[in-house]
Amino acid sequence: MYPNQRNRRLRQRPALRQLVSENQVICNDLMLPLFIAEGTQVKDPIASMPGCYRLSLDLLQEELKAITDLGIKAVLLFVKVDDVLKDNKGTEALNPEGLMQRAVRTIKTTTPDMVVMTDVALDPYSSHGHDGIVEEGKILNDPTVEVLSQMALSHAQAGADFVAPSDMMDGRVLSIRTTLEESGLTDTGIMSYSAKYTSSFYGPFREALDSAPGFGDKRTYQMDPANRLEALTETLRDIEEGADIVMVKPGLAYLDIIRDIRDNVEVPIAAYQVSGEYAMLKAAAQKGWLEHDAVMMEQLLAFKRAGANLIATYHAKEAAQLLA
């Protein structure tokens, strides 16, 4: 009771505020998403994501050295697949000499201690731009899961530390876990996109990979933004099926979901600060409407306060520089 208790006493000096701070962002929290392209000496800027590029494997090696020097411990890989390699069944996703598989091997050769996480979904490989096999306008669940399991196996055999299914097909975590176990890859982790919402924040990402759906939308498999309890149901099922880390995507507009999951599970939680969130801050900062670094760090802190252990963010390098 005032005046015996004065809350401002603990806010008087920076050192005191830091001493009683409940949450902190550190470099170990950050995962950097990377976009990989074919070719050599390719550093293709993504117009809607200033500061982000599609990199060829030779330039990826240079990027990895810079990332390592900043103290970033993990990368999340996405590949831009040539249109001529796309089909309805994602055949190229299983190619042991495919771009993703070569990217994993490149990273493990260049920076063996880097934690490599790979995106497992068909949309970059699909001629329809969907996360599953299409038949008569319908996204088929079980045939897609079979391909995803083999795709995850291929990534793990290439050296991926974690596979990250982002497709939202039912049962895919159990199928992937079973496939990995039966193949003796018991140490390969699964970071499941457990609560991935149908969102309008994904636009710049789809530009980066040229993976927008060719018809319709993704509402029959991604979650409805109106739903909260469903996120917990999805997450608990993924954990039961063998997920080691669970993810909420997008991040900033779904902090309540992160908190709900944190209050109910003990596994690590990742938040994905998606391309639209990144692009909005970049655009506002370019206009002089927001102070870029301050808002960036406030957003990252919000993920930690909500309960996230890990943050996938395109700001990872910028944040790491500030945290150094």
* pLDDT (tens digit per residue) in 159-175: 999 999 999 999 999 99
Q: Say if 236 falls within a structural domain.
A: yes
Q: What is the domain count for the chain?
A: 1
Q: What is the pLDDT of residue 211?
A: 67
Mean pLDDT by 10 residues, the chain (324 residues): 91 93 96 97 94 96 95 97 94 97 97 97 91 92 97 98 96 98 98 96 82 78 96 98 98 97 98 96 98 98 98 98 95
In a domain, 197, yes or no: yes
Distances (CA, A) of 237 to 54, 60, 135, 228, 230: 34, 36, 27, 15, 11
Strands 245-249 and 43-45: unpaired
The answer as to whether 288 is a domain residue is yes
Pairing of strands 133-135, 138-140: antiparallel
Would you name the residues annotated as active-site residues? Answer: 196, 249
- Structure confidence at residue 216 (pLDDT): 74
On whether residue 278 sits in a domain, the answer given is yes
By the 8 A CB rule, do 175 and 145 touch?
yes
The residue type found at 58 is: D
Which residue segment(s) compose the domain that 249 sits in?
7-216+232-323
Q: Do the domain assignments include residue 2?
A: no
Bridge partners of 139, per DSSP, are 134
Helices then strands (H, E): number in the chain? Answer: 11, 12
Q: Judge whether 204 lies within some domain.
A: yes
How confident is the model at residue 207, as a pLDDT? Answer: 80
User: Residue 116 is part of a domain; what is its CATH number?
Assistant: 3.20.20.70
The 10s digit of each residue's pLDDT in 292-309 is 999 999 999 999 999 999
- CA 199 from centroid of its chain's CA atoms: 14
Is 52 part of a structural domain of the chain? yes
CA distances from 50 to 43, 45, 58, 142, 317 (A): 13, 7, 21, 38, 13
**DSSP H/E element including 148:** helix 141-158
Exposure class string for 61-99: b at 16+ Cβ within 10 A, else e: eebbeebeebebbbbbbbbbbeeebbebbbebbeeeebb
Q: Does any domain span residue 224?
A: no
pLDDT number for residue 128 = 87
Give strand pairing partners of 191: 245
